[in-house]
Amino acid sequence: MGKATGFMDYKRQDKEAQDPQKRISHFQEFHTPLSREEQERQGARCMSCGVPFCQAGQMIMGMASGCPLHNLVPEWNDLIYHGNWEEAYYRLKKTNNFPEFTARVCPALCEAACTCSLHGDAVTTKANEYGIIENAYEKGYAAAKPVKVRTGKKAAVVGSGPSGLAAADVLNRRGHLVTVFEREDKPGGLLRYGIPNMKLEKQIIDRKISIMEEEGITFVTGCNVGKDRKASSLLKEFDCVILCCGASNPRDIKVPGREAEGIYFAVDFLKSTTKALWQHQMELKEGSFISAKGKHVMVIGGGDTGNDCVGTAIRHGAKSVLQVEMMPELPKKRAENNPWPEWPKVLKTDYGQEEAKAVFGRDPRVYETTVKEFIKDKNGRICKAVLVKLTPKKDEKTGRMIMAEEAGSEYTVQTDLVLIAAGFLGSEAYVTKAFGVGVNERSNVATEEGGYMTSVKRVFTAGDMHRGQSLVVWAIREGREAAREVDMSLMGYTNLNSYCEQ
């Protein structure tokens, strides 16, 4: 701990966001990084706690407290305070394969569990992580380091999202020959087409993929395993296969009128925008994407994906945006039954909602509400939706609290475009059937508790396909841990410890 009074001497200074009215005119990242000097002062705020919950990643009351990757947060905060940015990078990379991704898209579980946040403002750990990794690229520390010794073992990774990339990276550094199969035209999975460009610019993914290729990983894109290529051929060619295909089944809204034109799943809407941007040099060409321009947009779902739809629709030039959320509005401050270091169950106003306020003068969210019916015009397009209020009620059969319709509370809203962001229901059946792996009641690929081997010999799984829809940081952890189990299977021993350090 370099400066014992740092948390008292310096106030929290985070990366500054561009004004909402300005940033909605483009699809680039919109936060200004801190200066090197300010970043070092922020590192000094770290208290180097006796029990650093920021790196614990433990489950408390069903939710993670601290970083699931067990990032060595106090160590690299102290190192940047002392100006030792190179060593800070090496400490960061010991536990996180992709800080360039998490520093942009992670909700910062570390900061929510920071001891400074108990009676004040958390350390800017996410911004510090960003500073460390971007400095490493600038100075060359993050350059490719090709593997010198190979084991002769071959591993196939199906899916190039964060879990697949993490598994591939660890196995490659261990010395195995790794091939990653991706059904889309470019690697990245969720990172590429599930997260908008203004949160994660896609050249950041390309930068890392190029390094992984230089280090010896092979990427095969446009190959849909289970359709374009048989599972049996992979098992014949490779010593093992890791399924990292994500939780790709979007949850639908099954109400009358669902067949109307103009209703899309959120992932299809976001993907169409990202593809159009990169096909036309960061300009949206009319007719090349699902457009919200001049439309009354309704987003169903109050999570991160719903917020991304709000921000994207506003950048398209939507006439209005309404975001429908089934659950009650969360409190602005922690409730007494939600103490630190639990994950704070409080209201979060994200960038999309901020932009909606700036453009339309109000928060787009309506709570305790759901869709009861979609109404079509004479051409079969969506034109209106019937909404109904919900109220918390105990289910007499199960004893659980449910959101029940409130009699007589229906009302109609105008909408030209509906985006369903209601979450995902597990892995896609054609992949699991192709490999013959077992699934659980949630359609996730089944494994033994704490393990990653499936019911089929030499086939492993990791990420959302294994645990269900979750965060990028959890996907990276699962990919790392699965790689360790694969290494043990291939070699009969492993020199990767439980955190997959080498």
Cα angle 439, 444, 445 (rounded to 5 degrees) comes to: 55
Same domain for 407 and 273, yes or no, is yes
Query: What is the token pair recorded at 214?
Result: 């230089």
Beta-bridge partner residues of 17: 31
Same domain for 160 and 224, yes or no, is yes
With tokens 């570390």, the residue in question is 110
Instruction: Supply the pLDDT for residue 291.
Output: 97
Question: At 218, which amino acid appears?
Answer: T
Distance between CA atoms of residues 32 and 22, nearest Å: 14
Cα angle 55, 84, 167 (rounded to 5 degrees) comes to: 45
Distance between CA atoms of residues 70 and 55, nearest Å: 4
Same domain for 353 and 376, yes or no, is yes
Same domain for 208 and 279, yes or no, is no
Same domain for 321 and 380, yes or no, is yes
Distance between CA atoms of residues 27 and 6, nearest Å: 36
Listed residues 139, 167, 196: the one ending a domain: 139
Alpha-carbon dihedral sign for residues 347, 477, 442, 434: positive
Residue 77 · residue 54 · CB < 8 Å: no
Segment holding 405, helix H or strand E: strand 401-405
Distance between CA atoms of residues 440 and 466, nearest Å: 10
Same domain for 268 and 401, yes or no, is yes
Same domain for 445 and 394, yes or no, is no
Residue 159 · residue 245 · CB < 8 Å: yes
* Backbone angles phi and psi of 213, in degrees to 5: -65, -40
Q: Give the gyration radius of the chain's Cα atoms.
A: 23
Query: What is the token pair recorded at 450?
Result: 């704490």
Q: Coil, strand or helix: which one is 124?
A: coil
Residue 439 · residue 426 · CB < 8 Å: yes
Query: Exposed/middle/buried for 401, CB within 10 Å: 0-12, 13-18, 19+?
Result: exposed
- Taking the CB of residue 132, how many other CB atoms lie within 10 A of it? 28
Instruction: Supply the pLDDT for residue 1.
Output: 61
Q: Answer whether residue 144 is part of any domain.
A: no
CATH number at residue 62: 1.10.1060.10
- Looking at the 3D structure of the chain, how many domains does it have? 3
Q: Answer whether residue 253 is part of any domain.
A: no
Same domain for 116 and 237, yes or no, is no
Query: What is the token pair recorded at 226?
Result: 């289970």
The domain containing residue 92 runs over which residues? 6-139
Same domain for 278 and 340, yes or no, is yes
Q: Answer whether residue 34 is part of any domain.
A: yes
Same domain for 268 and 415, yes or no, is yes
Residue 477 · residue 456 · CB < 8 Å: no
Same domain for 168 and 110, yes or no, is no
Strands (E), 197-271: 218-221, 240-243, 263-265
Query: What is the token pair recorded at 462?
Result: 């990791």
Listed residues 420, 448, 467: the one ending a domain: 420
Q: Answer whether residue 145 is part of any domain.
A: no
* Backbone angles phi and psi of 258, in degrees to 5: -60, -25
Same domain for 230 and 311, yes or no, is no
Q: Answer whether residue 474 is part of any domain.
A: yes
Q: Answer whether residue 149 is part of any domain.
A: no
* Backbone angles phi and psi of 449, in degrees to 5: -55, 125
Instruction: Supply the pLDDT for residue 502.
Output: 45
Q: Answer whether residue 408 is part of any domain.
A: yes
Distance between CA atoms of residues 16 and 33, nearest Å: 7
CATH number at residue 326: 3.50.50.60
One digit per residue, pLDDT tens: the chain, 502 residues? 668 899 999 999 999 999 999 999 999 999 999 999 999 999 999 998 889 999 999 999 988 999 999 999 999 999 999 999 999 999 999 999 999 999 999 999 999 999 999 889 999 999 999 999 999 999 999 999 999 999 999 999 999 999 999 999 999 999 999 999 999 999 999 999 999 999 999 999 999 999 999 999 999 999 999 999 999 999 999 999 999 999 988 999 999 999 999 999 999 999 999 999 998 888 899 899 999 999 999 999 999 999 999 999 999 999 999 999 999 999 999 999 999 999 999 999 999 999 999 999 999 999 999 999 999 999 999 999 999 999 999 888 888 889 999 999 999 999 999 999 999 988 999 999 999 999 999 899 999 999 999 999 999 999 999 999 999 999 999 999 999 999 999 999 998 875 555 4
Q: Answer whether residue 499 is part of any domain.
A: no
Listed residues 78, 105, 139: the one ending a domain: 139
